[in-house]
Amino acid sequence: MIVDVPSKVFTELQPNDPHPFVSESFIQLNKAKIDRLVRLVNQDKNSLGLVAGIRNRELLSPFSAPFGGFHYRHEQLYSSEIDHFVSGVIKFCNIHQLTSINLTLPPDIYHPTLNAKVNSALLRCGFRMQTPEITNWVDLSGFQNRFNFRSSREYYNQSVKNGLSFNIEDSNDGRAEIYAIVKENRIRLSRPIHMAFTDLEKVATLWPVDYFSVKAPDQTLVAGAIFYRAQPAITQAVFWGDSETGRTLRAMDFLLFNLWAHYKNKNYQYIDLGISTESGIPNEGLLRFKETHECTSSLRFSYTLNLS
């Protein structure tokens, strides 16, 4: 039977967070956005757990993050254990008269073996798959301080000739300026931005948030990026963007080359670059840009089950 347990009990049963967006600290930061928080475990077998929010009688994981999903003891769970847990969550929601369950799973770089079995379980338990988002990531073990795609190498070489500089920004004013150029870039390209600078400052109380700048020879800011360092092996891109001037200087090619080198030198295994789609529809230019700069594309799955 699936039951809702206190935070302390859940942490004892599920001590490891598979990714930062299901951590207790991040959940607490955002819990004001929901009506109620539940931490679900099987009282008979504690191999899986689910932290989710309830809002307007809907069970949501995530409720304020790119993705949510399950806690687990290890990835080598029997598929029947996952089936049993998913069925139990459905029963829990029916007992509490919820109207739907909405789940977005993490990209495969976070737990590929479990993801395969969870996708299977959700589909067989009657969940409806939304149009998958295309997500991108970089395997830094394959980055050898050069872009493999010829045009990307040429653009990077042009950026070097343009005298650009790559910097880590530590001052609050410098970080705010980077956020501003990213926000302007999003507006110019008609892409949404879901966080204010103050939101990023709050997240920085939980884990390191890195800010990077690319500047022209006259020290004008022409591109910037913001990244999370919330776990040892994977760093996550939050935002990046350039100015109109930066585009002509090939600032983004310069930025990405230096980001890959920076995080490889810090012994990160992957860079999670997030989705290149909007409601499942590819942003063709963004997707092409990532893929020609060492990125792999894969699918990120979301599911809905209507209960009413």
Last residue of a domain, one of 101, 129, 157: 129
Confidence of residue 190 (pLDDT cuts 50, 70, 90): confident
100-117 burial, b at 16+ Cβ within 10 Å, e below that, comes to ebbbbbbbbbbbeebbeb
Check which CATH number belongs to the domain holding 49 and give it.
3.40.630
Check which CATH number belongs to the domain holding 210 and give it.
3.40.630.30
Give how far Cα 264 sits from Cα of 76, 141, 242, Å: 29, 8, 23
pLDDT attached to residue 51:
98
Verify that 212 and 237 share a domain, yes or no. Answer: yes
pLDDT(60) > 90:
yes
Verify that 209 and 166 share a domain, yes or no. Answer: yes
Q: Which residues contact 291 (CB under 8 A, 6 or more apart)?
A: 136, 297
Last residue of a domain, one of 107, 129, 151: 129
Verify that 153 and 294 share a domain, yes or no. Answer: yes
- Enter the pTM of the model: 0.95
Indicate whether 52 belongs to any domain.
yes
Q: Assess contact for 86 and 121: CB atoms under 8 A.
A: yes
Q: Assess contact for 107 and 119: CB atoms under 8 A.
A: no
pLDDT(118) > 80:
yes
How do residues 271-283 score in pLDDT, each as one tens digit?
A: 999 999 999 999 9
Distance CA 264, CA 140 (A): 6
Mean pLDDT of 52-65: 97
Verify that 103 and 164 share a domain, yes or no. Answer: no
Q: Which domain holds residue 174?
A: 137-300
Last residue of a domain, one of 66, 99, 129: 129
Among candidate residues 52, 63, 62, 136, the one with its CA nearest the CA of residue 90: 52
Distance CA 113, CA 73 (A): 13
Indicate whether 117 belongs to any domain.
yes
How do residues 145-169 score in pLDDT, each as one tens digit?
A: 999 999 999 999 999 999 999 999 9
How do residues 236-248 score in pLDDT, each as one tens digit?
A: 999 999 999 999 9
Verify that 125 and 273 share a domain, yes or no. Answer: no
Indicate whether 305 belongs to any domain.
no
Among candidate residues 198, 200, 249, the one with its CA nearest the CA of residue 221: 249
The mean of the pLDDT values for the chain is: 96
Indicate whether 206 belongs to any domain.
yes
Indicate whether 19 belongs to any domain.
yes
Verify that 15 and 105 share a domain, yes or no. Answer: yes
Q: Assess contact for 160 and 249: CB atoms under 8 A.
A: no
